[in-house]
Amino acid sequence: MKIAVEGCAHGELDKIYEAIQHLEKKDGIKVDLLICCGDFQATRNVEDLRCMAVPLKYQKMCTFYKYYSGEKVAPVLTVFIGGNHEASNYLQELPYGGWVAPRIYYMGYASIVNIAGVRVGGLSGIYKGHDYLKGHFEKPPYTEDTKRSVYHVRNVETFRLKQVQQPVDIFLSHDWPRGIYNFGNVNQLLRFKPFFTDEVKCNSLGSRPCEELLYHLKPTYWFAAHLHVKFAALVPHSSNNEEDNQQMTKFLALDKCLPRRKFLQIVDIPHDPSKSIELEYDLEWLTILHFTNHLLGVKRTNQYMPGPGLDGRWNFVPTKEELDFVWQRFDGNFLVPQNFTQTVVAFDSSSQNDSSNNSRNSCRKQPPAQINSQTTAFCDRLGIDDPMALLLNSSKESSFDSDENQKFCTTLPGYLTPERPGEVTQVSLDDTSYHDSVDDSMKQVLRKLLKYVVHLLTCTLH
């Protein structure tokens, strides 16, 4: 199976597909699958752009919306993970994966899927230690802080992936695994990217969770992006049996989609020729999701994964009985359903100019959170919770008494909120992430303070 691997897509789907078609014609080949390693930017309209963590002047619509609206159809099956420049509101609708457009599939926060006998795993986002232990508390509309924390990797996804025991052929991440540069031409890397020197010297460049997963999963291939440079490495893995051939991981990071940049690579990977190039759920991964559903958190507070020495179960490697249980729930049919539906109006290029330069679009607000029918169907089928549904239900339960207070939104100094210190942050009184970040006594203090601020503002206006 010939697979095209893309680094950072940055919304340039037209250009990526054109590059693939050029290679097909030039080399006389047929690409079966495109995989993208993050910064995909599945922006359907201007409101989605407002949910991306990039300055307004860089918020360009690019070409994904054409594939969402049906104006174009992806010429090859496309699978991607999330990075740190995404339409996070859209991707949050599909935490366990789903179709963002016909023939274009997002793998969710973390996932494993099967494609013609090739087992592909992925972890979305980038690692930031201060958010790693938190739940998935963010929901649109985002603050400037949560617009960034929403794409930070969480420990529950790493924990789930570390329960996987069956071999993984390909693993995708946006971040590089920490220390991967020690297994490639690090001198050449630093010639291209000299500002990485200090991080390489102190071994802090890259993701710690990805480093853990690299040595646990030991995939045959690991593809990444994020640092906007092509870099290859060969990672050896220890074996308990000295007679076995040493297992290796072939690592490749690629650049972003720009002219004269190394952003695309064709690899040939053995597959099952008796199977068609279609997406299938993975039984082991589904079983892990089902039996770790109770570990899902949607609060801003730290949550810790179970481990040895604690009461209760901490090893969730699926047993045969558990695998059989999930097999029966799916009736042995793991083909990913073609159930994509449009949920918002797509950008109309015929009536608007470039969204980043159009003053009429500059005041467009972020859209509210919503639930995706694909996720609802998947969760019902597997018997697990949708994080967004939990967040929206929690928001209703934690709303204040007065309807007027529920609608009120004011600006407070950063030190009065759980956001970044010293910044002015937008705080809504019905924001679950705000409520869950403080204890009950602090809620009462802040509630009184907010009412006092409202009173002062009212007096000032009159």
Instruction: Kindly list the domain boundaries of the chain, sorted by start residue.
Output: 2-351+366-394
Contact 118, 172 (CB under 8 A): no
Q: Report the b/e string of 349-373 with b at 16+ CB within 10 A.
A: eeeeeebbeeeebeebebbebeebe
Residue type, position 344, single letter: V
Helices (runs of H) and strands (runs of E) counted in the chain: 16, 15
The pLDDT value given to residue 413:
31
Round to whole Å and give the CA distance between 135 and 102. 30
Q: Which two tokens stand for residue 56?
A: 């307004």
Instruction: List the pLDDT tens digit at each of the 462 positions of the chain.
Output: 999 999 999 999 999 999 999 999 999 999 999 999 999 999 999 999 999 999 888 899 999 999 999 999 999 999 999 999 999 999 999 999 999 999 999 999 999 999 999 999 999 999 999 999 999 999 999 999 999 999 999 999 999 999 999 999 999 999 999 999 999 999 999 999 999 999 999 999 999 999 999 999 999 999 999 999 999 999 999 876 665 678 999 999 999 998 989 999 999 999 999 999 999 999 999 999 999 999 999 999 999 999 998 889 999 999 999 999 999 999 999 999 999 999 999 999 876 554 444 444 555 789 999 999 999 999 999 999 999 999 999 766 543 333 333 333 333 332 222 322 333 333 333 333 333 333 444 555 566 566 656 556 555 554
Chain centroid to Cα 430, Å, comes to 25
Q: What is the pLDDT of residue 406?
A: 32
Peptide bond into 141 cis (omega under 30): yes
Sheet strands side by side (includes 264-268)? 98-101, 104-106, 77-80, 33-36, 2-6, 264-268
- The pTM assigned to this predicted structure is 0.84
Phi, psi dihedrals of residue 302, rounded to the nearest 5°: -65, 140
Please state the length of the chain: 462
Q: What pLDDT does 425 receive?
A: 31
